[in-house]
């Protein structure tokens, strides 16, 4: 799982945390249903935004959720998950963009992909994902050609870019692709009037995704000699930060222009959590709990505001084989390192190896507009308090 919007479970609150998990599981299961188990590898945090936006605009209906069976990534529990056209569109977009990423790594000869047989296999996988994404997109009325065309332009633009080239010239294909995907959520939800503002939000989100990826990879790319848009165009970090902040402001304004049935989760992810992602990339702020909620245990620690009260450990221990299956899921998705999780056998709640300190001041959710005086860690959420921030 990857993406730039990785919300901290302590800031989401119980209601939004449940919704977020429903969309993440819904995307994963939509990929499995339409394209097989292997396609679930392209499940990513940013792709689920498509599903979130679609549902945020749709009229309430009984068919937006279904109960999914037990899954190792949820601690072998059932869950209510998102379904329908939003999840299918998210799956199509995720497949096409994952295919593009694989082909980009092959072209760059990264790691094992520098070896001919591995590169050949990777290209075959990417071609399969392209075809699957096209089929899935067609099923919901979305022409993925706009995505593949944008991806195909990227290599040519990068080849011509050099010192003095505006970095926004390099980010344009990503902006175009995400604008098209965001805009189509308005069509699926029956709100065509939202297409223009959501296209603008998508365009700026694509810009941010490209910029933050470049910022985070800048040092590693310099060490390996890989191409990096900031280095290639001579764009300083101060200018990249200015562009990122402008994009954040533009996304907020664009979302205000759109009409939502329930836009709380979309607002939280695309306004508050996206700002946190920018701060994290530029090293201006951090959260010790920085990972998104794990599927095996999406909750705050016992006794923490927003989490369950302290209590005795669970007594319904798993058997050896079931525990091993859960452990494999936790290990393969890095959940043993980040966030919180349940012990695969005892079900005791534990902190990941990389955690160990507290968030500190969680009032950032109210700082943006001073919408309330209470502590957001104590239940207040800007998205719930009635303000239009």
> 84 lies in a domain?
yes
Same domain, 91 and 233: yes
Same domain, 384 and 236: no
- The residue whose two tokens read 């794990």 is 294
Same domain, 146 and 272: yes
Same domain, 250 and 384: no
Q: Is it the case that residue 208 has pLDDT exceeding 70?
A: yes
* pLDDT, tens only, 244-270: 999 999 999 999 999 999 999 999 999
Classify strands 349-351 and 65-71 as parallel, antiparallel or unpaired. Answer: unpaired
What pLDDT score does 299 carry?
34
* pLDDT, tens only, 52-68: 999 999 988 767 788 88
Q: Higher model confidence: residue 311 or residue 247?
A: 247
Q: Is it the case that residue 331 has pLDDT exceeding 70?
A: no
DSSP annotation string for 364-387: HHHHTTT--SS-GGGT--GGGTT-
For residue 178, give both structure tokens. 């995400």
Same domain, 328 and 272: no
d(CA 328, CA 276): 30
Closest CA to 343 of 298, 307, 296: 296
What pLDDT score does 197 carry?
96
The Cβ of residue 86 has, within 10 Å, a number of other Cβ atoms equal to 29
> 137 lies in a domain?
yes
d(CA 193, CA 260): 11
Q: What is the mean pLDDT of residues 307-313?
A: 44
d(CA 345, CA 55): 36
Same domain, 267 and 330: no
What pLDDT score does 319 carry?
64
Q: What is the mean pLDDT of residues 31-48?
A: 83
For residue 105, give both structure tokens. 């790594």
Give the structural domain span for 363: 359-389
CA angle 56, 61, 67 (to 5 degrees): 95
> 292 lies in a domain?
no
d(CA 273, CA 279): 10
Q: Note whether 165 and 227 are within 8 A (CB).
A: no
b (16+ CB within 10 A) / e for 227-256: bbbbbbbebeeeebbebbeebbebbbebbe
* pLDDT, tens only, 146-189: 888 888 888 899 989 999 999 999 999 999 999 999 999 999 99
- The residue whose two tokens read 């296209």 is 199
The Cβ of residue 139 has, within 10 Å, a number of other Cβ atoms equal to 14
d(CA 172, CA 176): 6
* Residue 224: CATH number of its domain: 1.10.600.10
Helices 237-257/274-282 angle, 10° precision = 180
Share of the chain above pLDDT 70, in %: 71
Same domain, 102 and 234: yes
Average pLDDT over the chain, rounded to whole? 77
What pLDDT score does 284 carry?
79
Q: What is the mean pLDDT of residues 344-369?
A: 49
Strand partners, 351: 340
Q: Note whether 3 and 44 are within 8 A (CB).
A: yes
Phi, psi of 11 (to 5 degrees): -95, -20
pLDDT band at 300 (very low <50, low <70, confident <90, very high): very low
Phi, psi of 211 (to 5 degrees): -65, -45
> 305 lies in a domain?
no
d(CA 75, CA 302): 17
Closest CA to 189 of 245, 114, 263: 263
> 34 lies in a domain?
yes
> Taken in order 265, 26, 46, 137, is the CA torsion positive or negative?
negative
pLDDT band at 305 (very low <50, low <70, confident <90, very high): very low
Q: Higher model confidence: residue 58 or residue 346?
A: 58
Q: What is the mean pLDDT of residues 227-235?
A: 93
Same domain, 249 and 108: yes
> 2 lies in a domain?
no
Give the least confident one: 76-90, 325-339, 368-382: 368-382
Same domain, 259 and 340: no
Q: What's the length of the chain?
A: 389
Chain centroid to Cα 9, Å, comes to 14
Strand partners, 68: 79
* pLDDT, tens only, 347-358: 766 655 444 433
What pLDDT score does 363 carry?
36
Q: pTM value?
A: 0.74
Element (H, E) at 280: helix 274-282
d(CA 60, CA 367): 31
Same domain, 339 and 384: no
């Amino acid at each position: 799982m990857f993406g730039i919007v990785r919300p901290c479970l302590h800031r989401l609150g119980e209601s939004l945390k449940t919704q977020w998990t429903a969309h993440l599981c819904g995307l994963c299961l939509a990929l499995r249903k339409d394209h097989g188990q292997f396609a679930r590898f392209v499940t990513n945090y940013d792709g689920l935004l498509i599903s979130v936006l679609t549902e945020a605009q749709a009229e309430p209906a009984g068919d937006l959720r279904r109960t999914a069976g037990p899954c190792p990534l949820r601690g072998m529990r059932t869950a209510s998950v998102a379904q329908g056209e939003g999840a299918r569109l998210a799956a199509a977009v995720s497949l096409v963009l994952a295919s593009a990423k694989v082909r980009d790594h092959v072209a760059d000869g990264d790691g094992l992909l520098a070896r001919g047989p591995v590169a050949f296999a990777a290209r075959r996988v990417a071609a399969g994902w392209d075809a699957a994404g096209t089929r899935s997109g067609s099923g919901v009325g979305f022409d993925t050609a706009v995505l593949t065309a944008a991806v195909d332009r990227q290599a040519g633009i990068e080849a011509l870019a050099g010192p003095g080239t505006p970095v926004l010239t390099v980010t344009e294909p990503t902006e175009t692709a995400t604008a098209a995907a965001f805009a189509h959520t308005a069509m699926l939800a029956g709100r065509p009037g939202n297409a223009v503002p959501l296209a603008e939000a998508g365009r700026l989100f694509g810009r941010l995704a490209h910029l933050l990826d470049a910022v985070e990879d800048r040092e590693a790319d310099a060490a390996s000699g890989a191409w990096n848009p900031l280095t290639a165009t001579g764009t300083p970090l101060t200018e990249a930060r200015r562009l990122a902040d402008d994009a954040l402001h533009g996304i907020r304004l664009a979302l205000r222009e759109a009409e939502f049935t329930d836009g709380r989760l979309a607002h939280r992810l695309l306004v508050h959590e996206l700002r946190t992602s920018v701060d994290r990339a530029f090293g201006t702020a951090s959260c010790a709990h920085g990972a998104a909620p794990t599927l095996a245990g999406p909750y705050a620690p016992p006794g923490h505001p927003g989490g369950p009260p302290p209590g005795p450990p669970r007594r319904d221990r798993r058997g050896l084989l079931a525990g091993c299956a859960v452990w494999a899921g936790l290990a393969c998705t890095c959940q043993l390192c980040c966030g919180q999780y349940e012990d695969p056998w005892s079900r005791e709640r534990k902190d990941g190896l990389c955690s160990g300190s507290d968030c500190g001041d969680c009032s950032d959710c109210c700082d943006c507009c001073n919408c309330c005086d209470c502590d957001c860690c104590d239940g207040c959420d800007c998205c719930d308090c009635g303000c239009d921030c």
